[in-house]
Structure 1
């Protein structure tokens, strides 16, 4: 696709908009471009981080790629999750061993990653890890329709605590991590929890299209919280809750 000349591009408002709207929209465009530039600067700083620590080669439990099958269960090393890629994008799913279901917000994020999985796999390996036992974790993945997404259980390991994907009391913490393969070792490059150090949220919201679309609406995101109740079984019609 050829890039159009910005000087000849039509404005971002329809015919009939008055000058007050046009002026406000031009000012907003300046702010949006400034935000874009800041996002680029932060991304460059993220890539320029010094090397993180080498991680232990943790052993996780993994089932067959067909989520309808329960067996066989195998032990998979952290290094194996790279699947030929130099990097691994890992989502730490909040799903405690004694919980009945996974965190709705985490599940929403993974829904999004699953939807663009073929594109992500052109660049990096992708996996979801949770502390829930594997049968419970796979049943949840099946109910969400996460076919083709590597789902592994860290149950019985110190992985969550070691990478700070949980609090000292064992409470789960939503987080994303980027890891790099170095020979047979794995190096930590970057992690981002859902909350910032000051306690504010939205730490990884840029990774979900849901938040970005809600921010475009007149009502904004408000105090809305994702739910597990309105996500239909795979193949069923999806409702449109209000």
Structure 2
């Protein structure tokens, strides 16, 4: 702790910074601290949300933990996904039943969750659910290198539609959800779609370090969009 306190006593600008840079950085630091405090207030309000509805006893299709194997597959109850935890973090991967591959942006988010999976699993169970048939979904997970993630297909169920991760016309919607175990049942706690109710985007950007790093760069994030073409095929 002493080292941390010593570190915070240092300024956020390097030796040789001129007065204009120092003044601007100090002003920016105040704005950043205000943003931090607002984020903490929002997080506290999220935790005070009243209970959501109890969910149906969905059966989702899952294959072996080894993504190189295709059999055996089984239907898994939603409640089983919690394992030893009382919460479950679900990422609703945009991957339509007739699509050739998953959404690039959704894949970017799942790449990030996969990278910090050991840390997340100390606090919650984690699963990725998509509407695509299980063989196609598992092939995509194998190409992305999502070893260790629970990858499940909701094909043939109303899971996506009931949780609003799917529009009435079947179009998929990127979203993250948190569910809670309640005895042998599952209760909805929170969902965050990629877009806000007013139509603006960036609804779940805070869940990916990529956006946060890009926002630090001189050019910002611009109109960049993730692609599936630069991720090595691990087949």
Relative to the length of structure 1, the TM-score reads 0.95
Identify the residue that residue 39 of structure 2 maps to in structure 1: 39
Identify the residue that residue 29 of structure 1 maps to in structure 2: 29
How far is 1:97 from its partner?
0.2
Identify the residue that residue 240 of structure 1 maps to in structure 2: none
| Moved segments of 4+, more than 3 Å | 1-8
Identify the residue that residue 69 of structure 1 maps to in structure 2: 69
3-state DSSP class of the match of 1:114? helix
Counterpart-to-counterpart distance in 2, 1:136 and 1:95:
9
Identify the residue that residue 59 of structure 2 maps to in structure 1: 59
* Paired residue total: 235
Identify the residue that residue 137 of structure 1 maps to in structure 2: 137
How far is 1:234 from its partner?
3.6
Relative to structure 1, the CA distance from residue 3 to residue 182 in structure 2 (aligned partners, 3 Å threshold; closer, same or farther) is farther
Say if 2:111 is the partner of 1:115: no
Q: CA RMSD in A?
A: 1.3
Relative to structure 1, the CA distance from residue 7 to residue 134 in structure 2 (aligned partners, 3 Å threshold; closer, same or farther) is closer
Identify the residue that residue 239 of structure 1 maps to in structure 2: none
Identify the residue that residue 170 of structure 2 maps to in structure 1: 170
How far is 1:3 from its partner?
5.7
3-state DSSP class of the match of 1:189? strand
Counterpart-to-counterpart distance in 2, 1:8 and 1:181:
40
How far is 1:165 from its partner?
0.4
Relative to structure 1, the CA distance from residue 9 to residue 49 in structure 2 (aligned partners, 3 Å threshold; closer, same or farther) is same
Identify the residue that residue 150 of structure 2 maps to in structure 1: 150
3-state DSSP class of the match of 2:14? coil
How far is 1:57 from its partner?
1.1
How far is 1:10 from its partner?
1.2
Identify the residue that residue 18 of structure 1 maps to in structure 2: 18
Counterpart-to-counterpart distance in 2, 1:25 and 1:8:
15
3-state DSSP class of the match of 1:54? coil
Counterpart-to-counterpart distance in 1, 2:92 and 2:181:
18
> Which deviations, in whole Å up to 9, do the C-alpha atoms of 1:38-70 show, x marking residues without a partner?
000000000000000000010000000000000
Identify the residue that residue 187 of structure 2 maps to in structure 1: 187
How far is 1:7 from its partner?
9.6
3-state DSSP class of the match of 1:181? strand
Unpaired runs of 5+ residues, structure 2, are none
Counterpart-to-counterpart distance in 2, 1:19 and 1:217:
22
Output aligned runs, 1:82-93, within 5 Å: 82-93=82-93
> Which deviations, in whole Å up to 9, do the C-alpha atoms of 1:155-203 show, x marking residues without a partner?
0001111110011111000000000000100000000000000000000
Unpaired runs of 5+ residues, structure 1, are 236-242
